[in-house]
Chain A
Amino acid sequence: MTHFSLPAARSIAVAPPQTPYGVWGLRGAAFTYLIAFIAVPIVVVFVQGLYSGLDEFVASLVRPDVVSAIGLSVWTAVLMTVINTVMGTLTAYVLVVYRFPGKKMFNTLIDIPFAVPTLVIGVMLVVAYGPQTVIGAFFKDTFDLRIIFDTPGIVLALLFVGYPFVIRTVQPVLIQLDANQQESAHTIGASPWTTFFRIIFPVIRPAIITGALLSFARSLGEFGSVVIISGNIPMRTQTATVYIYTQIEEGNFQAASGASVVLLLVSFMVTIGVDLFLRRQRHA
């Protein structure tokens, strides 16, 4: 998944032949497309939230179940991001540096979470690790830990969904890393650890951060897998997205809008953060 940061516009030196509606036709189409499909829905959600007045809106934001749901979404996303960043970096490293049997197939499988419907991801995880399975029962009996229908299940689902992000941002950078540097480090006797930390890591760090932020933002908005796997206890295992969904289903549009606005704001801040970070990288 590539993430693009908008560069300064560069017009073509030679003016293309004018058509009566050329420039504005294209721009109009792009504008209409984006405004109609993105700006309008966002405005609708915000306005609907403010429909009963600002006081009502703020009140709907500070309800304990909303705060709890947003909090749950955030900390599960953070935990997932930490685990996924470590595992993703290691996986990218292994894929680029080593040769091993089945590597090509493994590389293909990395993209599974991009291809499989999120609902199906949830179903698969419940079927594989639910309380009536070998592994699920093991965790329940030994650690008194319920995976599915509790918060570990949420983190598990988010790990599945976010799996490719860090890997796919780090991989290309690693591949293009100067092989000479790697070799010279090896020649002067640097251990693989030193090579990694002093030479490789600084180069891939921006890609790691990008991937991490992307997977974090993605997790905040994840619904399909979480709704299957979480058990939906309000104040305990109900994430913001599931909370919003249940409020919509029950017709509590005020609450749905309020929580949507908060979630959107948090997600926006993260994506803007990614954009700014990338932009700084480009100009560095």
Chain B
Amino acid sequence: MKQFKDIGQVFVVIATIVLLSLRAVSAQDAPAPVTMTLVAYAVPREAYGEIIPLFQAYWLEETGQTVRFLESYQASGTQSRAVAGGFEADVVALALEPDVTRLVSAGLVSEDWNANEYDGMVSDSVALLAVRAGNPLGITDWGDLAAAGVEVITPNPATSGGARWNILAAYGAARRGFVEGFDGTDEGGIGFLGALISNVEVLDRDARESFLTFERGIGDVAIAYENEYFAGIKAGGEYDAIYPRSTILIENPVAVVDTYVDLHGTREVAEAFVAFLYTQDAQRVFASNGFRPVNPVVAADYGLDVEVPADLPDETVTVEINPDIIFPAIEDLFTIEEFGGWGEAQPAYFGEDGTIIALITAIKGAS
């Protein structure tokens, strides 16, 4: 029996060598798997839930590398503060530019983070007015929110960056002369804001909480993001959307966090992921979740009035268009540029002595 034992041992050794060589050979082709941390604000969670598998498939095919995602979805300001405080994100997807600017100031994101043709913005939305089903109060535009006895819901701009869009939408519309009963000037705008804030019942911590409060039966009308409205409808909410004649274009940034991608060695994947977010497939996912796409082809597919550049490369598209999502045209759509960009607007209105913050404290503190 000794011969068998010897043969057995030899066989095992040879087999092991063969198997190991095979393993080494095949391992050489596939790069090691990589883990990427995406830190985003809460609202696009479902959208990213669909985009990430698409990207993982795409990346696997392109490079043979498996990408594992760690995802966190909390309020935009929270995430921004957390990343600045040590949360090692590779990519951040936030609700407004100042939340990324904070990271630039903290030295985590390079200053040219938004140097692409989309200015770093990956999705859009607009501020609209959500009312109870059937619009019992007959709300038609901003002006109705200043009327006596109307309970308005909007998130707190002092605590929530995302909430600033809502207030600026109201302020901008008034300043531009689109609110009845108020002059198209700065004073008129502040006057309207004052009347509006007096009617605000609950100032929630962030946009999502604010809309949930409205859903739970508080208030007559909520100033909300269009995508929040769509998300609520999809979950079975029963309310109507009133699009004002004039409102602000809400733009959501995405950025690669340079310090951490270099630390983790994930720069290539991170930059590819961010680039992927602008492809038609990803943009279609955003659109079907209620976000206005920035990609002109997809925007045109959804009926938005955009110029489609002729020289765009063709893409194979796998995501379907969602027939339930319709983005109405807005008569007067302005952007943060109306206020000189966030660089000026943030400190002037929402900083330590910000005029809008002071207005809220004056009105809400006095009553």
Contacts and interface: CB of A to CB of B under 8 A. Distances in A.
Q: Do A and B bind each other?
A: yes
B218 A234 contact: no
Contacts of B218: 131, 146, 149, 231
A234 B203 CA distance: 7
Contacts of A149: 202, 213, 216, 218
Interface in A211-256: 231-236, 246, 248-251
B75 interface: yes
A234 B218 CA distance: 17
Scoring B102, B158, B201, B217 by chain A CB atoms within 10 A of each residue's CB, the highest score goes to B217
Given A132-B217, A249-B159, A232 B361 contact: no
B347 to A, nearest CB: 14
B77 interface: yes
Contacts of A22: none
B167 interface: no
A231 B203 CA distance: 7
A20 to B, nearest CB: 41
Interface in B197-223: 201-205, 209, 213, 216-218
Interface string B78-116: 101100110000000000000000100000000000000
B361 A64 contact: yes
B234 interface: no
A152 to B, nearest CB: 14
Nearest to A231: B202
A68 interface: yes
A248 B160 CA distance: 12
A122 interface: no
Question: Main secondary structure on chain A at its contact with chain B?
Answer: loop
B309 interface: no
Given A246-B205, A249-B77, A249-B78, A234 B217 contact: no
Interface string B339-367: 00000000000000000000011001100
A232 B203 contact: yes
B156 interface: yes
Contacts of A236: 364
Interface residues of A, number: 19
Given A246-B159, A250-B81, A232 B205 contact: yes
Contacts of B209: 232
B166 to A, nearest CB: 15
Residue among B75, B84, B205, B213 facing the most chain A CB atoms (10 A cut-off): B205
A49 interface: no
B243 to A, nearest CB: 27
Nearest to A148: B216
B213 A231 contact: yes
Contacts of A88: none
B216 A132 contact: yes
Given A233-B364, A236-B364, A249 B202 contact: no
Interface of A: 64-65, 68, 130-132, 146, 149, 231-236, 246, 248-251
28 contacts: A64-B365, A130-B217, A131-B216, A131-B218, A132-B216, A132-B217, A149-B213, A231-B202, A231-B213, A231-B218, A232-B159, A232-B204, A233-B156, A233-B202, A233-B203, A233-B364, A234-B158, A234-B159, A234-B360, A235-B361, A235-B365, A246-B205, A248-B81, A249-B159, A250-B77, A250-B160, A251-B80, A251-B85
Interface of B: 75, 77-78, 80-81, 84-85, 102, 156, 158-160, 201-205, 209, 213, 216-218, 360-361, 364-365
